[in-house]
Amino acid sequence: MSVQIQHLVEQIDVRKDEVIDLLKKLIEFKTPAPPARNTKDAQTFVADFLRERGFSVDMWDVYPNDPNVVGVLKGSDADHFNSLIINGHIDVAEVSEEEEWELDPFTPIVKNGVVIGRGAADMKGGLAGALFAIQLLHEAGIELPGSLLFQSVIGEEVGEAGTLECCNRGYKADFAVVVDTSDLHIQGQGGVITGWITVKSTQTFHDATRRQMIHAGGKLFGASTIEKMTKIIQGLQELERHWAVTKSYPGFLPGTNTINPAVIEGGRHAAFIADECRLWITVHYYPNESYEQIIKEIEKHIRHVASADPWLRENLPTFEWGGKSMIVDRGEIFPSLEIDPNHSGVKKLAAAHHAVLQENVVVDVSPTVTDGGWLGEAGIPTAIYGPGNLQNAHAVNEQVSIEQLIEYTKVMVTFIYEWCHTQKA
C-alpha cells in the first residue's frame, strides 16, 4: 500500500462519522420496491454527489420517477490503464405495515455499533462506503489513469434490472464490483428465472358435464386444467430431484437448484370445468449454467410428461419465461455469475482486502442473487463485494455493522486506486 493511500485509509477512521452520516442520508430517502417509482430524489442526490467530484453524469428514466444514474470519471490515460465499474442499487426491500421496527424504517438509528434502517445492509451501506471512497480520492487530488464508472441503478428488488439498462446503453469496463450484501466476501452467484406454465383447453364445459369426461362411457374428451396441472407439478418435482442428484457446484449445498411452484391460478367459476390453469414457478440454477439452458431442460421434460397423458398431448402446455418487472409483467431474470479467482481484478480486490484487514478474503458464492449476472453476461468480469449480511437484508430493524462499513470503505479506496493504476493486460 502506497504512503498516499495509507494516509487516506487512516483518514477513514478519523472521519467515520462522515461515512455514517452519508449512509443515514441515503436511508432517509424512501425507496422501497414495491411500490417503486420513488427513487428520483435519491438518485438526484447521487448524481449531484458525483458531479461535484468531477464525474460526468448520465441520468435517465427507466420507469417514471425511477431513473438510473451513471457517473463517468474519465481516466487520464484511459487507453492504457484499467477501467472499473462500481455498481449498486438504490431501491430497498418493501416494508409492510405489520413490521414492528424500533423506529420508522427510514429514520436511521445509530447505536451499539450498528446503523439501523431499511437498506442499511441491502445495500445503501455499500453505496455509501463506495461514494465516500470516491470523495476521499477527489479531495486528495488523485488523478486516476484508468476510468472509473459509478452506477446507481433502480429496480433490483423487483427484477427490473436497472443494471441491464446500463449494459444496453453501452457502459463497459475491464472489471466491475457489485457492492451488494456479501459480508465482505468476494462472491459469484447462481441464477434465478421465473416462468409461467399454462394448460389451456380449446373448449369450455359446464360443470354438469364432469361425469361424462371422467367416467366410463361418458364419451366426452375433456379435462379440468387444474387437475392436469397437478401432473405438470409432479413432473417438475421429478426434474428437481433429478437435478439434485446429478448436478452440484462448489459452495452450494446439494439440491440448491430448486423449482418452486410459487403461484397457481385456474378456473373461472364454480359452475364451469376449469378451462385454463397457470403455474408461476421460480427456478434457481448454478453459476456454471445459463437461463437459456435451464429453459430448454424444463420445457423438454414437461413435454415428455405431457406426451404420456392422452389429453395433455393434444393440449400441450405453453411457457412464458422471465420478464422485465415483477410489478409490471410478473416476471424476472437474474443471470448467474461465475467468478475466476485468478482474474487480475479479483486478485487485486483480494489484495486490497488483505492489506486493510490483515486477513485473507473468503472467495465463495452468494446464496441469493444480485445484478452482477447482467454485468457478467455483458462480458464484464465481475465480483460481488459489499458490507452487511443476508441475515439482516430485508429484515425488521435491518442493520449494518459500523466496523464492517468502515473496513469496506478502506478496502474500496485502496482497490479503486490500485486497479485504476494498473496497466491493461
Instruction: Express each pLDDT in 218-247 by its tens digit.
Output: 999 999 999 999 999 999 999 999 999 999
Give the count of beta carbons closer than 10 Å to the beta carbon of residue 84. 24
In the beta sheet, which residues pair with residue 285?
Answer: 191
pTM over 0.85: yes
Q: Residue 2: its pLDDT value, please?
A: 82
Reply yes or no: is the peptide bond before residue 105 cis, omega within 30 of 0: no
Which stretches of the chain drop beneath a pLDDT of 50?
A: none
Radius of gyration of the chain (CA): 25
CA dist., res. 348 & res. 411, Å (int) = 10
Helix (H) and strand (E) counts in the chain? 11, 18
CA dist., res. 384 & res. 214, Å (int) = 54
Is the CATH number 3.30.465.10 carried by domain 191-321? no
Reply yes or no: is the peptide bond before residue 123 cis, omega within 30 of 0: yes
Q: Residue 3: its pLDDT value, please?
A: 86
Extents of the domains making up the chain: 3-189+337-420, 191-321
> Catalytic: which of 28, 91, 157, 332?
91
Q: How would you classify residue 358: left for phi > 0, otherwise alpha for psi between -120 and 50, otherwise beta? A: left
The answer to whether residue 10 is catalytic is no
Instruction: Express each pLDDT in 332-345 by its tens digit.
Output: 999 999 999 999 99
**On the CB side of 324, how many CA atoms lie within 13 Å of its CA?**
8
Q: Residue 419: its pLDDT value, please?
A: 98
CA dist., res. 256 & res. 143, Å (int) = 45
CA dist., res. 120 & res. 24, Å (int) = 8
CA dist., res. 311 & res. 316, Å (int) = 8
CA dist., res. 324 & res. 328, Å (int) = 8
Contact 321, 195 (CB under 8 A): yes
The answer to whether residue 91 is catalytic is yes
CA dist., res. 148 & res. 142, Å (int) = 12
> Catalytic: which of 28, 122, 156, 180?
156
Is the CATH number 3.40.630.10 carried by domain 3-189+337-420? yes
